[in-house]
Every structure is written in structure tokens, then in C-alpha cells.
Amino acid sequence: MSNASLFERAQQSIPGGVNSPVRAFRAVGGTPRFIARAEGAYLWDAEGKRYIDYIGSWGPMILGHGHPAVLEAVQKAVREGFSFGAPTEREIELAEEILKLVPSAQQVRLVSSGTEAAMSAIRLARGFTGRPKLIKFEGCYHGHADALLVKAGSGLATFGHPTSAGVPPEVVQHTIVLPFNDIAALEQAFETHGTELACVMIEPIAGNMNFVRTQVPFMRRLRELCTEHRALLVFDEVMTGFRVALGGAQSVYAKAIPGFAPDLSVFGKVIGGGMPLAAFAGPREVMRHLAPLGPVYQAGTLSGNPVATACGLETLRQIQRPGFFEALTASTRTLVDGLVAAARDAGVPLVGDSEGGMFGFFFADALPQDYNVVMATDKERFNRFFHAMLDRGVYLAPALYEAGFVSAAHTAADIEATIEAAREALRS
């Protein structure tokens, strides 16, 4: 079997040949790699070629693929039963582990996907506040719920228009989209709509326009305005949670902004360790509005699945080992610094940034601060670089607009091999 033949076959039974759009390589061109197996920091495709993996299942594989302790926990759980549709002790253990690491939250509800967690958090915010409107930011992705599939129009604070067919305009009439890191637009939106705002949802470090940080002054002002207008600040930490730091991105901002905390937090990816599992969490006074205690309905047959919770729980325990994040942060920084140096030696404009085990780079002279600047970076050069790296056995995200991920399984030799591949690719 070849990747090409599998892709041709897949397109007959699966729309576009893939079950999530970015996997189709439409942004970069070429044939997607069909993965046969993975171990540690590596993937092997259907043709037997090995790649150093910087996707990590889009973030969850922080320990690398097939970590022995996680495998043991999952195998034990599988023997006990796949799914019960009833409570288990492990759900409590995972919830307690999350709450131990996230001081802003007192209770947590487990679900099966980041999309489900984000849409449920918004419903909860609306139910708690009794208000209809929400703010999101251009370039931030919070899953494919209808109310979140919007983009900004003209002006500083415009109501969204659907960016997907099948989403009626009236569904997004209460969604306001603002430019990322723009304090003036933020203040205008609160001045105009403050009494109607249920929440503001933000990726603290946006991972779906590559890697773009929320600037500290912007985050500080956002927290002030939410408090002043009694709107909930919802942190979407599906990517950043337990990935950029043990306490998530909110712990990074708490170091820069005394007393900082979001009102609700959305988690995914790492807390499932590669299994379909996500969560949203917050203070007891907000979470008690969820059914069965309160009037905000949310349910899921596979929520808290016993195999998924076993995988996530062991992953969270492993990343709390002494020195884990210090080592992961150092490896990721070495990679980014190496890529920047390789580009500089080749006379190619490239900038990069990282936090914990998450990173991004742009073919540009300066790090972008918003979506429009990201869109103006050199896409064609990225596409050429992507394929040159793929040919050299390095698997990067197949789109300019996606962040990358390093795992604890990446060795110094893996990082150096990646940098050397980049040197060759950038000169070609």
C-alpha cells in the first residue's frame, strides 16, 4: 500500500478522504501521509518511512507515543470494561487531579471533545449571567459549534458572519468578533454591549493562527473589563492546558498579572493523553448551574469514559514529575532557536516563539500579534519548507496556521537532526 493509493481509496468513502480537514494537505498540496504506527517521538507511514513527529496528535502526546506507564494504565482499564454509562471512581480522580493543578476552578465537568467543552462553557456562561452575547477574537478557534464559526466584518467591533455553510446568520447574531490584541476595539465592544455580554472566550496563546500570544497589557485590560461588566472570562486551554506549563497558560499570565484568573476554563488534548476527552471547569457558584443541579443542560453518553480517563489521569501524573516542564521547555526553545539560526544563516527571514512544549514559527521579520499579520506572512515559502522537511523525515503541521508540539520523548539528537534538516531545506 502507498499513501497515494490509500488517499485515493479514502476519497471514495470519506468526504475529502479525511475525517478532519487539515489532514488532507489542502493548504500545502501533495498527498497526506497515512500513519501506520507511532512510538516515542516518531511516526511511520504506510510506506514504512519514519518521521520525527512535531504534531503529537495536535498536542495531546506530551509524553510521546506509547509511554509505558500510560500503556499499562490503558490496558488495565480496557480489561475492566470499555464503557459503563455509569459513574466511576476514576472520573473523580481525574477531576481532582485537574482541580489540584488549576487554582481558578473548584469543579469540573468531563466531556468528549474540545468543541463540546467550549460550546458547553458558553451555554453555562449564558445561563449563569442571563445574557445572550459573547465575544471571540479573530484567529482564535474554539471548535466547530455554530455560534463560534464566525469571522470579523468591518469596523472595530462587528457582529459575526458565518464562515461555514449550514450556519444561519441568526445563529451567530449574538457573536461579536474582535481583532486579537487590540485594546481599543475591546474597550469599544464593552462600552457598546457590556450589559448584554455573557462571556469573552479567548485562546491565551492562539494555536490556530500558528503561535500568537495574548499580550500582557491586553490580557490585563480584558480581565478588568470582564470584572467591571460582570461578564465571564473563558480561557480556551484546549491546546495550552498542561502543555505550556503545568498550570496551563493561566498560570503563565498569573505570574505577569497579580491575582489573575479566568472565570471558566476549557481543557482538552493533554488531559486525555490522546484519547477523546475534554473538560470545562470553574468556581462552584457557576458550575452549580449545570444539570442535574441547575437549569443549564449538558449531557454525554461517553463523558468520563473509563479508558479515556485512565489515559488522561496517568498522563497528568507523569507530567508532574520533578523537572519535567523545565526539560520540555528547554528542548522546545532549543528547537526554535535552531530553526531561527538556520534561517538566518540561509538569509531567510524567519521568527519563532515557544512556551513549554508548544511552538510556532513564521517566515516574517517580526512575530505577528494578530490574525491579519499572520495571513500576510510568506505562505508559499512555508509550503516549500514543509515539503522539504517532510522529504527529510520531519513531520510538521501541514498548514502555516497551526502550532507545533514537542514531547518529552524528543531527544537532543532528534532536535539536532530537525535543525540540520531545516538547514538543508532552507538552502534548497
Ranges of each domain in the chain: 3-62+322-427, 68-318
141 catalytic residue (yes or no): yes
Per residue in 250-273, pLDDT (tens digit) is 999 999 999 999 999 999 999 999
236 catalytic residue (yes or no): yes
- Residues in Cβ contact with 271 at an 8 Å cutoff, skipping those fewer than 6 apart: 94, 98, 241, 242, 277, 278, 279, 312, 315, 316
Q: Please state whether 196 falls in left (phi above 0), alpha (psi between -120 and 50) or beta.
A: alpha
Q: Give the pLDDT of residue 63.
A: 98
Any idea what the Cα angle at residue 149 is, between residues 143 and 151, rounded to 5°?
125
42, 51, 54, 141: the active-site residue: 141
45, 53, 182, 236: the active-site residue: 236
CA distance 274 to 189: 38
Which three three-digit cell numbers place residue 126? 449564558
Average pLDDT by consecutive 10-residue portion of the chain (428 residues)?
96 96 92 98 98 97 98 98 97 98 97 97 98 94 86 39 75 91 97 97 95 97 98 98 98 97 98 97 98 97 97 98 98 98 97 98 96 91 97 96 96 98 96
Helix (H) and strand (E) counts in the chain: 13, 19
* Centroid of chain to Cα 99: 19
51, 53, 136, 269: the active-site residue: 269
- C-alpha dist (Å) from residue 257 to 129, 234, 239, 324: 25, 17, 21, 25
Identify whether the C-beta of residue 307 lies closer than 8 Å to the C-beta of residue 78.
Answer: yes
263 catalytic residue (yes or no): no
CA distance 100 to 97: 5
- Kindly report the CATH class assigned to 68-318: alpha beta
Q: Give the pLDDT of residue 162.
A: 58
Which three three-digit cell numbers place residue 343? 534561517
Question: Cis omega before residue 292 (within 30°)?
Answer: yes
Please tell me the pTM assigned to this model: 0.95
- Kindly report the CATH class assigned to 3-62+322-427: alpha beta
